[in-house]
Amino acid sequence: DSMFYSFKDSVFRLYQNPILWAKESQVTGDTVIVYTKNKKADYVQVFENSFLINQMDPDIFNQVKSTRMDAYFVDGSIDSVRAAGLAECIYFIQDEDSAYTGINESQCDVMDIYFEKDELEKVVFRSQVTGTIWPIRQKSPSEMRLPNFNWLDEKRPKTKYELYE
């Protein structure tokens, strides 16, 4: 809702329920700080009520929520995310042919998520880990939602000109 940009350090500070989009992903939180390098995202901090949603298919969403998230980028592409503080996730497991085989629903203190070519590579759960892996046939993807899940695609700008409306 509100944004401040510092030319001095190339940092965007977003307040009051900001929403960020990158390809098929949405990031929300109470406050988001985006550090840039060479006009590309380099490092992003999301404070309080951090929520990352990645749309895999029309009704299939990988989700991570925590108190705080730190995302790291390499050449403008996401490299890794650390979710810390009451971290929870739901992500859909795929085989080598991209067929969905299961659903991982987990909670932990700290979660590290690694990406390769903008695709989820692996998730590492650290400290106080609990969770369940469901066979894909046992749960409906539409019922697999973390508390406060809110896909805001209708607010997503479809063109750069919509940013100024």
**pLDDT tens for each residue of 146-162:** 999 999 999 888 887 77
- Given a cut of 70, whether residue 1 has pLDDT beyond it is no
Mean local confidence (pLDDT), 127-142 = 93
Buried b (16+ CB within 10 A) or exposed e, 39-67: eebbebbbeeebbbbbebeeebbbbbbbe
- Given a cut of 80, whether residue 7 has pLDDT beyond it is no
Question: Model confidence at 164, in pLDDT bands (50, 70, 90)?
Answer: low
Mean pLDDT, all residues of the chain: 91
Output the pLDDT for position 135.
96
Question: Model confidence at 23, in pLDDT bands (50, 70, 90)?
Answer: confident
**Better-predicted residue by pLDDT, 116 or 160:** 116
Which tokens sit at 53?
Answer: 């949603």
- Given a cut of 80, whether residue 31 has pLDDT beyond it is yes
Residue 43 near residue 11, CB atoms below 8 Å: no
Domain 2-139 class in CATH = mainly beta
The residue extents of the domains of the chain are: 2-139
Rounded CA separation 85/89 (Å): 12
